[in-house]
Amino acid sequence: MAVRSALWTVMTGAAQKAARAMKRDFGEIEQLQVSQKGPADFVSAADIKAEKILRAELLKARPRFGFLLEEGGEVSGEDAHHRWIVDPIDGTTNFLHGIPHFAISIGLEMDGEIIAGLVYNPIVEEMYYAEKGKGAFLNDKRLRVSSRVNLTDSVIATGIPFHGRPGHKPFLKQLERVMGEVAGVRRMGTASLDLAYVAAGRCDGFWEQGLRPWDIAAGIILVREAGGFITDLQGGKDFMATGNVLAANPKLHKQLLPLLNAA
C-alpha cells in the first residue's frame, strides 16, 4: 500500500483488534445474546463489544477527538475539529443470520469533512482504506471506480426499505426505473461495503435512502479517492444529513440521477 500514514496505523489497528472478537462471535452465532432496538433493527452483544474496543483503541491513539457512535451516540472531545464516526458492525442483520457480508466502518471527520475512511470485512480480510488526497486502496491494491459508460453494461447496488422503515412505494418506483436500464441490481445489506465496491469497480453505482452518518462516512471518501462521484438524490451535498446517497463513476452518475428523480 502506498499510504502508510499514522492515521492508517491507528485505524487499521483498531479495526483488526475489534475484528478478532467479532470473528469469534460470528463463529458462535447461535449463542449470541440478541435484543431488539426496533423492528428488524437488531443490536447484539457483538455490536456493543466491538464498539467498546474501537472506541478504546481510537481514544488511546487520539485522546482529544470526539465520536459519533452507532450504539453510543455522540461523545464530545476536547478537539472540536475532529470526530470519529464509527459503525462497529455495518450489516448486523447479515451477521446475525450467519451471512459473511458485514463490515467495521470508521470515518474521520475534520470540520465537517470526511478526511479518512476504513471499511473492513474481517471474514474475507478485505481492508478498504482512503485518505484525502492520497487515494483509495483495498489491502495493497490501488482502487479506481469502473470505467463503464453505458447503464446497459452496469451492475448497480441498492438498499431496500424493510419492515419498520418508510419509503417502500417510492423505492419500488425507483427500482422499476433503474432495473429496466441496467445489467443487474444487487441488494447485499451493507451500505459501507456497497460504497467500497463502487470504489473498487465491483459495482458501477449505488443508491439508497434513509442511511445514517456511520453507514456512509467511510464510504464517501473511498468513492471520492477512487475517482467516483457521490451526491444526494437531488445532486447536492446533503447526503450526510439526509442519508440519501447516489454514488457512481461520473458518467454513470449523470445517467442514474435523472432516472431516480423521474421516479
Provide the percentage of residues in the chain whose pLDDT is more than 70.
95
The average confidence (pLDDT) of the chain is 93
In which domain, by residue range, is 10 found? 6-142
What is the structure's pLDDT at 10? 97
107-141 residue pLDDT tens: 999 999 999 999 999 999 999 999 999 999 999 89
Domain boundary, last residue among 142, 159, 184: 142
43-90 residue pLDDT tens: 788 899 999 999 999 999 999 999 999 989 999 999 999 999 999 999
What is the structure's pLDDT at 3? 59
The domain total for the chain is 2
Distance, in Å, from the CA atom of 138 to the CA atom of 145, rounded to the nearest integer, reads: 12
Cell of 112: 465537517
- 13 and 138 both lie in a single domain: yes
User: Distance from first CA to last CA of the chain, Å, rounded?
Assistant: 42
Of 34, 82, 36, whose CA–CA distance to 61 is shortest? 82
Domain boundary, last residue among 94, 114, 142: 142
- 57 and 163 both lie in a single domain: no
Q: Which residues are catalytic?
A: 70, 87, 89-90, 92, 215
What is the structure's pLDDT at 43? 73
- Give this prediction's pTM: 0.94
- 155 and 138 both lie in a single domain: no
Cell of 251: 458518467
Domain boundary, last residue among 95, 111, 142: 142
**H/E element holding 106?**
strand 103-110
- 135 and 47 both lie in a single domain: yes
